[in-house]
Structure 1
C-alpha cells in the first residue's frame, strides 16, 4: 500500500513540477493577452459645458462623469468646428482637408478612398467592427462605412437627420425602419453587438446624432426640462440665448447619458469592464448660445468654444482613475493612441498628424513634445501650442490664465506670435492647397456591394423643382410642376448590369398619374406614379422649438422597375415626362439594387 502511495505521490510531484515549469516558461515568453475591446461614443453638437462634470448645474450626466472618475480626463482636447471634419480626423488620424473632407454635404463630406481608417486598422488586427449612428463621411460604396473597415453598420450616412422617432435608417446598405427614439435604438444595436462579440475583441464606434437639431426630445426627458429654471446662461459674446432651445439640448444630453449608462452596465454584467477601453467626446462646440464655461465661440468657430471638446477615457486596471491630463491633444490622436494601447502593429502609407497619447495615460515622468495643433473651418485657422492659442485674427491668448480669450497678449509676446503666424501660413499652404478641387462623382454599382443610395441631398434640381430646405442633408424635392423638369446626379457606374429601382416618394391620391423617366446615357426606364402615398409632416409633436431644417414626411418606396446601366461616368437623370396634376411627387431618395451580373 505504501509503495502504491509513493508511486502516486511521485507522479503528482512530477506533473506539478512540469506545470509550474510550463507556467514559468510562459511567463518568460509572455503569454499573449486578449486585446482590449474599444468603444468610442461621440455626441453631435454637444458643448464642453453640456456636462455636469464641467460645472453645469442645469443638468446631470453621472454616467459620462463616471468615465472620468474611473479613468482620465483631458482638459485641452480639440476637435473640428463642425461634424464631418471631426469624424474624418478621428477615423484617419489626419487633418480633414488632407482626407478630402471640406464640406458637410453634397459629396464634400467624403473621406478619400486612399485613406486608411481606424476601423481598417482594427479589422486587420482581427477585431469585430461596428458603427451605429451618424456616419457623415460618405454614403455610396466604397465611401460607405461597410467599405471603410466596419463589418456592421446601422444608422444613416447623411449629416443631420429630420426624424428621431421610428426613423428611416439603413442596415448594411438596406433601408430599414428604426425602433423608437433614435439614440435608444442605436444603443440597443450596440448592446446586441457587445453581447454577440463578448468572447472576442471588438471595436465599436457609436456616433450619436444628438443634441444636433431638430430638437426632437422624448416626452420623458422633456418633462424634466420644459419648465426648468436655468442657473447658468450663455456668455453674451456667443449671442442671445434661446432658453427653450437650451432646455431641449440639455434634455437630449441627459438621454445620451442614460444610454451611456446602459452600455456601462452591459460591460459590467458581462465582466468586460476591465477588458474594454471606453471613450466619450463630442464632435464640436454647442449648436446654440448656452453656458459653455465662458469660452468664446460655438459650433462653426475655431475659437475655444467651437473646438474644445469634453474627452474622457477609461480602462480600469491600466489607466489610473481620476487622472487629469493638461497637454494639448485632439481627435487626430485617437487612431495612433488606440492602436498603441491595444498593442496593434499597423502600417499606414500616409503620414499621420496625430500622435499616440499612451505615454500620458499609462506612463509616469514622460516627456511630451511641444507640438502645435491646428483647427480649421471655412478658411479660418487657429493654432494651439502649450498654453497659448493664436486665433484666426492673429491674436494671441494665454489659455492658462485666460481660457475665455478676453486679453490679447500679442504685444507682450511678439516672437511667439510671429512664429505661430508663420506656422499657420505654412500649414495653409501645405494642407489647404487642394481643398477646393473635387471632381469625385457619386459611385453607383460597386462590384463588391449590392446597394446604391442616391438621396435628394446629392442631386441638382432643374426647372421649377425646389428643395424643401436650404440645408440639403435631410431634404427632399418638391414642386415638380412642369413636364421635362428633372433632377440629376453626377455618377460613375462601376459595374454594368440590371438595377432594380425604388423611389422613396410622397404623392396624395388626387395627384397620382404622372409619368417619370430615369435615364443614364442611352439607358432608360419609364414608370408611372400609379399608387398614392399621402403624408403630411410627421412627429412634429416632439419638436420642442421651431426647426430650421426641413420637416420630414413618411416617404415610402415605389418599385419603379429595372434599368440596365452600362459602365461609365455621366449624368443620371430623373425627369417628369407627363404631368398628371400640379405636382408629380415629393422625392426623398432612390435606391438602386444591383440584380446582375
Structure 2
C-alpha cells in the first residue's frame, strides 16, 4: 500500500475554496476540538481501567459521558506516536524514527491536523510537548499551529517555574508546568470562543523527571507506593485536575455541545506498574507498550457510555476528527488511518479485519526490529532473536508463544510486517540536515544532541537525550559537527553556549573555507540548577550556560557542515558545549 508524500499546494487551494464558501457553509457550526494527550501514562493509569488506588475522576467522567475505545494502539515511545497522531500516517513514513539525535523530526512536507483544520478556518493552538522537530519548518509554527506555548524537545528539565517557548520567544513561567500549560490553553479557548478552534494539549506529565507538588505526592505515599510510583500517580492526578479545568471552562462558555473532547496517552507506562495484566510497558512492542486509553466525548452526538471494541490506532485520529468536524481533507492526501466517525456517531460500524503494525527504533540505526503485527486475534512480536505468536483472544497477557502450533499464521504476518517496513522506510535513511536561512527563523540553534563527535568528545549523559551536552574537550582532534541545509546564503553570528572550569580554551568554528575563533577568557563552572526530583533522574540535570561570541561566518547556500574544533585547552575536561546558535546578520 504505497503512500505518496502529500502536496502542500492542495492545502492552499483548499483554504482558498473554504474562504469563498465560508458564508454558505456556516463555519460557526463546525465543532471545536480539544485534543489532550499525556506523556508516558499507561492504559492502567486510569481508575476506570481497574486501578482502584489512583484517582482520575475527570478521565473516568469522559469515559462515561463519551465513547471508550477498548483496543486503541499507539507507538511504544513518544515522538513516533505524536507524528502519527498529527498526520494520520505511520511515523516512519513521516520521517520520525526515534526520540533524539534529530531522528524525532517530521518531514516539513507532511500535512498535519493543524494545517488541515487551519485551512478550514480554525484557530489552532498547541500547549505542551511537540517532540517532532525543533527547527523551522518542522516546528509547531511551521506545521500549522497559530499559537504554540511549550517546548519542542523530548522532555523538559524542570517542571517548576520552567522557562517555555511562546511563539518562538522564551518566556519565564511561575508554577507547576501542567498548571501553566493549562492556563495558556484556557486563554486560547477564551480568545477563540466565537470561532471554531483546535486546541492540542500534549502534557509532558507523567514523563520524567519525576516532579510533582507535595499534596499530590504525599497522597500516594500515604497509600503505600514507592517514591517513583507516588510521583507518577500524583502527576496523573494533577493532569486529571487540569483536564477538569479545561472541561469546566468549555462548559462555562456554553461550548460543551459544540466541542469534541479527545483524551489519550502516547505509549505504555514509564515503569513496571499496574497495566491491566498486559505484557510490556513503554518501549516494548508487546501489548502493554502500545495499548492506551482513548475517550471521545461530544454531548448530544456521541452516545454516553458507548464502547468501540474494534482495533483502532493513532493513525485514525486525523481522519476521524476531520470527518466529525466536516473538515475536508486536501486532494492527494493519502493516509494510513481510517475515519472512525461512523462508529462514534452510530451511523455505521468501525472497520474490522484490520492489521496494525508497530515498530520501535533503539537508536540511530534503522533496524527492522523490534516490531509487531496486531490483528483481531493475533499479536506477532519480534523483540529478541525471532518471531513469537500470541493468541490474544485466549491469552491476552501473552504468556504462551503458539508460533509452532500456527506456523502458517506466523509466516503470513511476518511477511506482512517485512513488506510494511520496506514500504514505510523508503527514503528514511537520507541524510538529515538542520535548515538554516529561512526568513521565518533568523535564529537557529544547533543542539549538542544533533551533532556528530570526534576525539574525546562525548555526551555528558548516558544516551544523549534531549537537553544533553558535549563534554570531554581537552585534546587535539576533539570536534563536534552539524550537517546543515542553508536555504539562503548569508552572514551569521555564531554564539556557543559553554561552561569551563578555567580560562584559556580556544575553539575554531568552520564551515567550508569560512572560519572564526573564540576564546574562553574567564572561568564559568556553575552548579546544577535546583531540581525538586522525587527520585534520581536518568536524564542530565540543568545548569546555566555562558554565551561565547565566536564572531561571524558566511554560509553559502546548499548542504553545508559546521564544525567546532578544539585549538587549545588548559587541561582535560576543559569545556562543556550545550549548543551553537546562528544569528542571521541582516
Q: Which residue does 1:13 correspond to in 2?
A: none
Report the Cα distance in structure 1 between the residues aligned to 2:175 and 2:585, rounded to whole angstroms: 32
2:307 counterpart of 1:315? no
Report the Cα distance in structure 1 between the residues aligned to 2:77 and 2:259, rounded to whole angstroms: 28
2:294 counterpart of 1:301? no
SS at match of 1:300: coil
C-alpha displacement of 1:484: 6.2
Q: Which residue does 2:452 correspond to in 1?
A: 460
Of 360, 369, 373, which aligns to 1:377?
A: 360
Report the Cα distance in structure 2 between the residues aligned to 1:503 and 1:174, rounded to whole angstroms: 19
SS at match of 1:328: strand
2:386 counterpart of 1:386? no
Of 378, 402, 406, which aligns to 2:399?
A: 406
2:203 counterpart of 1:213? no
Q: Which residue does 2:365 correspond to in 1?
A: none
Aligned partners of 1:447 and 1:494 also within 8 Å: no
Of 523, 526, 529, which aligns to 2:514?
A: 523
Q: Which residue does 1:109 correspond to in 2?
A: 104
Report the Cα distance in structure 2 between the residues aligned to 1:405 and 1:44, rounded to whole angstroms: 25
332-341 vs 401-410, which deviates more? 401-410
Report the Cα distance in structure 2 between the residues aligned to 1:501 and 1:221, rounded to whole angstroms: 44
Deviations 1:30-56 (A, max 9, x none): 866521111211111111001111111
2:559 counterpart of 1:566? no
Q: Which residue does 1:537 correspond to in 2?
A: 528
Q: Which residue does 2:116 correspond to in 1?
A: 121
C-alpha displacement of 1:417: 4.5
Report the Cα distance in structure 1 between the residues aligned to 2:442 and 2:32, rounded to whole angstroms: 30
Report the Cα distance in structure 2 between the residues aligned to 1:480 and 1:415, rounded to whole angstroms: 56
2:401 counterpart of 1:441? no
2:488 counterpart of 1:495? yes
Report the Cα distance in structure 2 between the residues aligned to 1:520 and 1:30, rounded to whole angstroms: 53
C-alpha displacement of 1:229: 1.4
Report the Cα distance in structure 1 between the residues aligned to 2:213 and 2:493, rounded to whole angstroms: 37
Q: Which residue does 2:128 correspond to in 1?
A: 133
C-alpha displacement of 1:353: 0.7
Q: TM-score, normalised by structure 1?
A: 0.86
The structure that has the greater radius of gyration is 1
Q: Which residue does 2:318 correspond to in 1?
A: 335
2:581 counterpart of 1:591? yes
Structure-to-structure mapping, 1:166-565, within 5 angstroms: 166-230=161-225, 243-347=226-330, 349-364=332-347, 366=349, 368-378=351-361, 379-392=369-382, 394-410=387-403, 416-435=409-428, 437-472=429-464, 473-482=466-475, 485-507=478-500, 511-530=502-521, 533-540=524-531, 542-555=532-545, 557-558=547-548, 560-565=550-555
Report the Cα distance in structure 2 between the residues aligned to 1:93 and 1:482, rounded to whole angstroms: 48
SS at match of 2:83: helix
Change (3 A) 1:60 1:588: same
Aligned partners of 1:165 and 1:539 also within 8 Å: no
C-alpha displacement of 1:483: 6.1
Change (3 A) 1:431 1:582: closer
C-alpha displacement of 1:394: 4.3
Q: Which residue does 2:56 correspond to in 1?
A: 61
345-354 vs 202-211, which deviates more? 345-354
Report the Cα distance in structure 1 between the residues aligned to 2:350 and 2:543, rounded to whole angstroms: 56
SS at match of 2:45: coil
Q: Which residue does 1:158 correspond to in 2?
A: 153
Change (3 A) 1:348 1:105: farther
Report the Cα distance in structure 2 between the residues aligned to 1:249 and 1:348, rounded to whole angstroms: 43
Change (3 A) 1:253 1:449: same
Aligned partners of 2:518 and 2:549 also within 8 Å: no
Q: Which residue does 1:26 correspond to in 2?
A: none
Change (3 A) 1:100 1:132: same
Report the Cα distance in structure 1 between the residues aligned to 2:210 and 2:331, rounded to whole angstroms: 40
C-alpha displacement of 1:530: 4.3
C-alpha displacement of 1:79: 0.3
Structure-to-structure mapping, 1:85-100, within 5 angstroms: 85-100=80-95
Aligned partners of 1:134 and 1:208 also within 8 Å: yes
Aligned partners of 2:518 and 2:548 also within 8 Å: no
Aligned partners of 2:474 and 2:570 also within 8 Å: no
Change (3 A) 1:496 1:467: same
Aligned pair count? 552
Deviations 1:165-205 (A, max 9, x none): 23343233333334332222222211121111111111121
Change (3 A) 1:146 1:302: same
Aligned partners of 2:27 and 2:196 also within 8 Å: no
Change (3 A) 1:177 1:526: farther
Change (3 A) 1:143 1:551: same
148-157 vs 178-187, which deviates more? 178-187
SS at match of 2:272: coil
Deviations 1:508-565 (A, max 9, x none): 6xx245343332223333334346654212233x211122221211335455554433
Report the Cα distance in structure 1 between the residues aligned to 2:133 and 2:261, rounded to whole angstroms: 25
C-alpha displacement of 1:293: 0.8
Query: What runs of 5+ residues in structure 1 fail to find an aligned partner?
Result: 1-28, 231-242
Report the Cα distance in structure 2 between the residues aligned to 1:382 and 1:406, rounded to whole angstroms: 16
Aligned partners of 2:30 and 2:196 also within 8 Å: yes
Report the Cα distance in structure 1 between the residues aligned to 2:576 and 2:25, rounded to whole angstroms: 63
Aligned partners of 2:503 and 2:520 also within 8 Å: yes
Report the Cα distance in structure 2 between the residues aligned to 1:342 and 1:533, rounded to whole angstroms: 54
Report the Cα distance in structure 2 between the residues aligned to 1:565 and 1:422, rounded to whole angstroms: 47
Q: TM-score, normalised by structure 2?
A: 0.88
C-alpha displacement of 1:63: 1.4
Change (3 A) 1:193 1:560: farther
